[in-house]
Amino acid sequence: MGKIENLDFKKSTLRKINNYLQNISYKNNKREFTVKNPSGHHALCAGLTENISVNIKGHVGYYCGGMNQKAHITINGNAGTGLGENMMSGLIHVKGNASQSAGATAHGGTIIIDGDTSSRCGISMKGIDIIVKGSVGHMSGFMAQSGTMLICGDAGEALGDSIYETIIYLAGKPKSLGVDCVEKKMNKKDIKKIEDLLKIGKIKNLNSHNFKKFGSQRKLYNFNIDNLSDY
């Protein structure tokens, strides 16, 4: 695969770098790209639509990898709010920590976070797999509709509040569970899913038996006067 090394914020601008990555010419079969000195710029690598690999050497700001399709993005640092927001496919791997709302409204693909995430990780997620090797903040999985979260550490308050059909696997302890989120019994399908996610995340110090499963009690799906206090 061809490589280029000139996507440098000391030599170029966010607009030019994003425009280049969004409009790749494949005549030379280039698939791997390195971005240098990102210095916390926002919306870096937003709207990528091709099967390319982007290696970011440093920290990024808000909405990195937003609306991503097919691209594999590696962030060698920390990420700000809204990492991978509304992404459709591909993979985003953060070698550090991520701020709030990581994977918000994301429809597909995978996000791997080696460190911790702040509040509302996976808010309103719609099919993505999110792997967090550390802990997550409060209200993670809020109104999460489908997909899977694998959390290797602990969770803050109100985990899975108003959750729909997303499944959360948690190795640590939640400070509290949100409305309509309950612990559920594991089955063979869950064990297989956890093992697959551990493999994808290259996590070797845990196994499926370390995790508990959380999901929706489904009391909020339809109005029921007996559940009035839950609304």
**Tens digits of residue pLDDT in 148-194:** 999 999 999 999 999 999 999 999 999 999 999 999 999 999 999 99
Euclidean distance between CA atoms 48 and 70, whole angstroms: 8
pLDDT value, residue 106:
98
CATH code at 40-220: 2.160.20.60
Q: How far are the Cα atoms of 100, 155, 162, 226 from residue 231, in angstroms, in the given order?
A: 25, 23, 9, 11
- Residues 6 or more apart from 222 whose CB is under 8 A from it? none
**Tens digits of residue pLDDT in 22-76:** 988 766 667 899 999 999 999 999 999 999 999 999 999 999 999 999 999 999 9
Binned at pLDDT 50, 70 and 90, residue 79 comes out as: very high
pLDDT value, residue 26:
65
pTM over 0.85: yes
Q: How far are the Cα atoms of 100, 129, 137, 200, 215 from residue 196, in angstroms, in the given order?
A: 25, 11, 24, 6, 19
Contacts 24+ apart (CB under 8 A), 140-146: 141/166, 141/168, 141/178, 141/181, 142/178, 144/168
pLDDT of 2 higher than 50: no
The pair phi, psi for residue 55, each rounded to 5°, is -105, 110
**Tens digits of residue pLDDT in 93-110:** 999 999 999 999 999 999
- Domain-wise residue ranges, the chain: 40-220
